[in-house]
Chain A
Amino acid sequence: DTGVSQDPRHKITKRGQNVTFRCDPISEHNRLYWYRQTLGQGPEFLTYFQNEAQLEKSRLLSDRFSAERPKGSFSTLEIQRTEQGDSAMYLCASSPPRGIDTQYFGPGTRLTVL
């Protein structure tokens, strides 16, 4: 399977704990995106990488959230001091070098904060 993969698929944590999610994009894709989706809503943009550079961050990405893509391949999204409002599906997507804007999504990580 050469699609976007995410790990873990599900995460249950207690309020105040830190969590980290991983995303592996399609291999030839240099652009990587993180989105968050809550019930009844469409995915909302969080942040975007081109290679290893983080080019854009949404105001939704509070200082408790940090994303990295150290070698321009996989990416991690960390949430520190989780809150119940962080419960959501976290989606990763990737797209090829500029010129083709279609983004391909992974299966998502479902986070539940108790």
Chain B
Amino acid sequence: DQQVKQNSPSLSVQEGRISILNCDYTNSMFDYFLWYKKYPAEGPTFLISISSIKDKNEDGRFTVFLNKSAKHLSLHIVPSQPGDSAVYFCAASGTASKLTFGTGTRLQVTL
């Protein structure tokens, strides 16, 4: 039972353009959502988060949008840079505190 889904395994975007990564969830008890970036052979690096009481959170080039009614969140990266090339994981937590992760989206930013 995949409670957090990232339906796009990969995404390719040109440098300078916007990258949009999507995530859907099924568990209505989730109230905190996070995005992590992961390079090979390293642990996930925290990028940005959003509480269920908000619909948008922005940090520099990264913005996360949350649509609770659709159980959908997205990460926007503007402008995309070659160093952004990595695997991005969406994660969610509820009262249980543990994180439930999606399967990841591999982002490639091309020159």
* Chain B residues within an 8 Å CB radius of A48: 97-98
Interface string of A75-114 (1 = CB under 8 A from B): 0000000000000000101000000011111111010000
Q: How many A-B residue pairs have CB under 8 A?
A: 57
- Report the Cα distance A58→B96, complex, angstroms: 12
Number of interface residues of B (CB under 8 A): 23
Number of interface residues of A (CB under 8 A): 25
**Does A45 lie within 8 Å of B103, measured CB to CB?**
no
How far apart are A108's CB and chain B's nearest CB, in angstroms?
5
* Chain A residues within an 8 Å CB radius of B91: 42
B42, B43, B97, B103: residue with the most chain A Cβ atoms closer than 10 Å = B43
Contacts A42-B91, A42-B102; is A101 near B97 (CB within 8 Å)? yes
**Does A105 lie within 8 Å of B98, measured CB to CB?**
no
**Does A103 lie within 8 Å of B41, measured CB to CB?**
no
**Does A101 lie within 8 Å of B45, measured CB to CB?**
no
Closest to A41 in B: B103
* Chain A residues within an 8 Å CB radius of B43: 4, 6, 91, 93, 105-108
**Does A56 lie within 8 Å of B96, measured CB to CB?**
yes
Q: Enumerate A13-38 residues with CB–CB distance to B below 8 Å.
A: 31, 33, 35
**Does A102 lie within 8 Å of B103, measured CB to CB?**
no
* Chain B residues within an 8 Å CB radius of A58: 98
